[in-house]
Structure 1
Amino acid sequence: MAELADLEIGDMRTVYANYGNPAWKRAATSRQVSRLLDRLAENLAEGAIGIGLMVGYAPGVDPSKYVPISELAARTNTGTFTHARDLIDHSPNALIDGALEIVAAADETGARAHYCHVNSTSLQHLDRVLGLNEESPEPITTEAYPYGAGSTMISADFLATSRLHERQLTPDKIVYTPTGERSATPHTLELRRTDADASVIVHLLDETVEHDRRIIDRALTFPGTIVCSDAAPLMWSAERHDPQSWPPPASLQVHRRTAGNYSKFYVRETPQMSMVEAVERCSLGTARVPAGRRAGDAAQGACPNRLRCRPGRVRPPGRVRPRDDHRPRHLPRRRSALNRVCGSVGGRPVGRHRR
């Protein structure tokens, strides 16, 4: 966004507000690509764990520009983390199939590639995508989350009313997070114009439908898949608060997967796998993704990723209901949080913050 659209990126709110801005989604010039690569190289030298690519939100980006970024990741021994471009199955006019783009770039450059949230980007075409990843000459890691509902900004390209059919969506499957209301077509159009940085819950898969449940289970139990929340930053409906403060304010809004992702996976999938494997997919498995060299190591004096629980008492804090009013949910105060806080007992943090 900064290089292609000449935007000042202050925080994630600025990023969200520009999800629908076409200026950063077009094909880049050679000069812009050169500046972008210089900026990325500088960020990696300063300690960034890898390169994130949001081509799923920028369908006009030239596929040939993906390769130099993968080459940079290979040279710096880091990796790419890609929210895949549209699949050809979803968008027949896409410049390249999103899954094939990731695999081909990894094969050409030798970069370590990670395919972000394969469940929500693949949907009914999951088996084809997993097959491509499995057959790739270069290892492709991936992750999934145990919810049928995802979260994004209302201005995302694929939520344009003219494109909802590509993912078998209808406006009533889009929940406007600030109020909890479900969208109707005219209202969706208006919100995309007037409140572009608003978050929405999108019911991509219906957990009450067996076929959709099987897609989620297939993604979560595929060999090597790790469990990742794809959690968005904490959101406030009114005034801003310090995200490091504890306990969080009652006005906090958050997608269920931010608070209940790992416990929901544990409860959902342990009948199909051992407790050790389930916990491994939520913890040690993350050290095997492209950035494992850095992210898997705890800094001196920091709290390593640890989880202490009573297996028989693990419960997710709730579920995303596909047909209720979907009033904004709030983060539970009794929780276990990895990375930022080792854990909490009765709402009181235990361990040290990792800054």
Structure 2
Amino acid sequence: MKEGAIGIGVNASYAPGHGQKEYFALAELAIEYDVPTFTHVRYASITEPQSSFEAVKELIGNASITGAHMHICHINSTSLSDIHATLALVEDAQAKGIRVTAEAYPFGAANTVVGAAMFSGPDWRDRMSSTANNFQLGADRMTEDELADYQANNPGTFITWHFLDENKTEDLALLDASVTHPSVLIASDSVFWSYFDEDGNVKTYEGDEWPLPEKAFSHPRSTATYSKILRSYVRERGLLSLNEAIRKMTLMPAQTIEDSVPQMRNKGRIQVGMDADIVIFDPATIANLATFANAHQPTVGVQTVLVNGGFSVRDGELVLDAPHGRQIRNSAAD
């Protein structure tokens, strides 16, 4: 915190046995340094006890008692089909002035390690309403035998987990509920890139080639989150206005942390005196091309990206040596 960290990350779902006292102590630390916590809530379950609903109540309780600002990471994938109930909790908390915020990404699949604690125990599929063959590695869905093998022998392998089927009306409606909710901002939860080596082992790609090598794979949210919002939710289905979508992707994230990170008061606004962080795109053509089978297809329809007034994308081409980015630090580091 003293070196400028913008908040405290809490990966509760990956350590579900951590104590409530410990989590409460992190909330107290956050209020001491006037920064938010960013929590991947524990459990990820639609059954009780130890449900996602319970986990969100715990976060809201900590925020209410300590006064800390506590942010819920990807409320869509952590709530699963209980999204309406958890969104109602957030609404009620915010109406009472409790400092709770949330974000979501516009995909019915997550990306995480295959050996995560949430995918363990005799009833984990029932708790998550998780069907067979809904895990993906690279371009292909994993068989149940492959899943068991990776969990036993390569538990740190990153996989894509399909928790909703966007081709089903009822599943898509659950995803839409999180994405379109007025209080939920849009975040990508971008992840790194992987590849299979010559022996078939999964490795993390650490190069800097552009375009990315054909063998690299990831989750499409790493390249296509915001373009999917503009294509699907704005242009094609009309679930969000263009202004509301842009607000959710720019101004809301800045406002979420600007109380503790003063630099963010100059972000997310096109005004005199603000930082010139600007994306110029064509609303009629912007589209996400990335898929779960092939995630490294770049978005189309973006012409220019300015960061602090300097080009990062110019005439549709990435500027590989753009030097314009700056560190963001909390107010204590100023």
TM-score, normalised via structure 1 length: 0.76
Per mean C-alpha deviation after superposition, the further-off stretch among 117-126 and 242-251 is 242-251
Map of 1:214 onto structure 2: 173
**Structure-2 change in CA distance of 1:82 and 1:186 (3 Å):** same
Whether 2:318 is the aligned partner of 1:348: answer: yes
Whether 2:295 is the aligned partner of 1:329: answer: yes
Per mean C-alpha deviation after superposition, the further-off stretch among 184-193 and 242-251 is 242-251
Map of 1:3 onto structure 2: none
The amino acid of 1:54's aligned partner reads N
Please state how far the C-alpha of 1:297 moved relative to its aligned partner.
5.3
Please state how far the C-alpha of 1:241 moved relative to its aligned partner.
5.6
Whole-angstrom CA distance in 1 between matches of 2:102 and 2:128: 21
Please tell me the root mean square deviation across aligned C-alpha atoms, in Å. Answer: 2.9
Q: Secondary structure at the match of 2:155?
A: coil
Whole-angstrom CA distance in 2 between matches of 1:229 and 1:292: 22
Structure 1 residue runs without a partner (length 5+): 1-43, 321-325
Please give the residue correspondences for 1:31-50 in structure 2 after superposition, counting only pairs within 5 Å.
Answer: 44-50=1-7
**Structure-2 change in CA distance of 1:96 and 1:143 (3 Å):** closer
Question: CA contact under 8 A between 2:44 and 2:118: conserved in structure 1?
Answer: no
Map of 1:112 onto structure 2: 69
Which structure has more strand as a fraction of its residues? 2
Whether 2:254 is the aligned partner of 1:287: answer: yes
Per mean C-alpha deviation after superposition, the further-off stretch among 55-64 and 230-239 is 230-239
Map of 2:227 onto structure 1: 263
Whole-angstrom CA distance in 2 between matches of 1:96 and 1:255: 26
Percent identity for Structure 1 against Structure 2: 26
Q: Secondary structure at the match of 1:283?
A: helix
Whole-angstrom CA distance in 1 between matches of 2:121 and 2:315: 45
Whole-angstrom CA distance in 1 between matches of 2:307 and 2:92: 33
Whether 2:132 is the aligned partner of 1:171: answer: yes
Q: Secondary structure at the match of 2:71?
A: strand
Question: CA contact under 8 A between 1:102 and 1:113: conserved in structure 2?
Answer: yes
Map of 1:296 onto structure 2: 264
Whole-angstrom CA distance in 2 between matches of 1:339 and 1:237: 34
Aligned length: 302
Deviations 1:254-280 (A, max 9, x none): 211111100111122221232111111
Whole-angstrom CA distance in 2 between matches of 1:219 and 1:156: 24
Please state how far the C-alpha of 1:291 moved relative to its aligned partner.
5.8
Structure 2 residue runs without a partner (length 5+): 198-202, 268-273, 327-334
Map of 2:192 onto structure 1: 233
Question: CA contact under 8 A between 1:114 and 1:142: conserved in structure 2?
Answer: yes
Question: CA contact under 8 A between 1:54 and 1:84: conserved in structure 2?
Answer: yes
The amino acid of 1:256's aligned partner reads P
Question: CA contact under 8 A between 2:46 and 2:81: conserved in structure 1?
Answer: no
Deviations 1:169-213 (A, max 9, x none): 123001123xx3323333222111211221111110010111111
Whole-angstrom CA distance in 1 between matches of 2:72 and 2:55: 10
2:84 to 127, 135, 150: 127
Please give the residue correspondences for 1:155-166 in structure 2 after superposition, counting only pairs within 5 Å.
Answer: 155-160=115-120, 162=122, 163-166=124-127
Map of 2:332 onto structure 1: none
Whole-angstrom CA distance in 2 between matches of 1:342 and 1:258: 17
Q: Secondary structure at the match of 1:253?
A: coil
**Structure-2 change in CA distance of 1:182 and 1:87 (3 Å):** closer
TM-score, normalised via structure 2 length: 0.81
Whether 2:142 is the aligned partner of 1:183: answer: yes
